[in-house]
Structure 1
């Protein structure tokens, strides 16, 4: 497990954090056929200048051929942003590696040309992923990161990371927040939450509403009422990515397992590490 950081001190506490974010574990899980995942339960976040929302970034990706795409990322260290592997490397979108990505922490869309960027933005041309993703684009390994040249995370904060066991994860209430294309064209942050339904060796499946553009968003839990956000996965897939033999209608994320935690730690250390390391 790593330790998170809320960034620059603020006396204001997000009302959305109190009202929307779920904590702890759920009660008994209803049978899968009673799940209603197609009803949109996402809520827009307007306090994107406050933690934890400011730790979440809108991404503007560009490929070598000029093709553009949108996604979501989140800080895991002062200069390191975690995201889905297909946000940094995709044969479909970019013909390989992205050429540049603009990272915009806490973007607040206004519906006009003057979207609010409370922490400005930073662009990068340095990315990492894992071999199994870049060689085979295996969904279980769809994890990547963006390396920044400046410690923007010192200002906005970063998520703690944990490799929880399947037994610990089952029944947890999870949160997902990111920048979907269908609402605000990737300029508005939306949050949704629900329970974990299934856990496989490398994936986490949950009843949480998402849409394209939210790929790369953090999947996090709060262990109890007073605990900080703890990231346990990287959102990457809609219901089409859920194997039929699981018998659930769910979205999913590659899990943070010990091997993934070690790789994420390695990427943060590559960027200078955490304060006090």
Structure 2
């Protein structure tokens, strides 16, 4: 059964980021991160850092290009501006030429409203020399959708969303990197190892860099809509894919975490209904 979606078409932008030079993308990204970082310093209702449990097992990727791993090219940085002007940084991932999956709260927040602008940049990374590198440039989101249950109730069971791009150019530039949505059964999840990808706030300024969990982890708890694990998760990871180790199968989407190492971080599962809804959604 397909899930009812809410959302909106985003305004047609007067600029085309796919035509920007690399230097223009770097400047735009740094300006965004500077404003975002300043905003976070002045925010009192949310912690700016999340708890890292034990040793930090994440590893940063450098020098991403069209010959790099599919996961590094499919994972996208999201520079988000909400209706109320609030900025947010998140993660998404390609599953088709114009479809980028992310967390619902990256697209809609009951206090901030819907996102009014999102720039999607796959494979964004720091080169070995520390310079920011948008290897495939980036593009604006054209359409965003979340489950009606997320819009109405902000229930983490339904914390997923879909970004549609107007053109296929960005996907083509990145070497056509599609991850596979995996509606796994509970038995298929148990005893397997999983890796998390995304853009946690860990780097020095500009502090959005591509990381993956170097040490794969088993799932700590399985429920019908959410799985919990002890992967280290910080701001910016939201929307990142939790994948079967050394595979492109996405079990769940990074959703929420707690400041307590006794509780696992929450990942919204790709159920059969979620998978069918995302794959069958078509925006002109």
CA apart distance, 1:240: 5.2
The DSSP-based 3-state class of the residue aligned with 2:60 is strand
The residue aligned with 1:209 is 232
From 58, 63, 79, the counterpart of 2:77: 58
The residue aligned with 2:275 is 261
From 60, 66, 91, the counterpart of 1:44: 60
CA contact (8 A) 1:202 1:254 kept: yes
Matched, 1:179 2:199: yes
Which 5+ residue runs of structure 1 have no aligned equivalent? 1-35, 243-247, 273-277
The residue aligned with 1:197 is 220
How large is the RMSD of aligned CA atoms in angstroms? 2.3
* Shift in alpha-carbon separation, 1:113–1:48, aligned structure 2, 3 A: closer
Residues of 1 paired with 2:54 and 2:90: CA distance? 21
The residue aligned with 1:123 is 140
Residues of 2 paired with 1:115 and 1:42: CA distance? 19
TM-score (norm 1): 0.75
Residues 209-262 of structure 1, C-alpha deviation per residue, up to 9 Å, x if partnerless? 12110100001104xx7xx411111011113599xxxxx521121101111111
Which 5+ residue runs of structure 2 have no aligned equivalent? 1-51
Residues of 2 paired with 1:137 and 1:126: CA distance? 20
Residues 43-72 of structure 1, C-alpha deviation per residue, up to 9 Å, x if partnerless? 111143212201000110001222111000
The DSSP-based 3-state class of the residue aligned with 2:187 is helix
From 180, 186, 195, the counterpart of 1:160: 180
The DSSP-based 3-state class of the residue aligned with 2:278 is helix
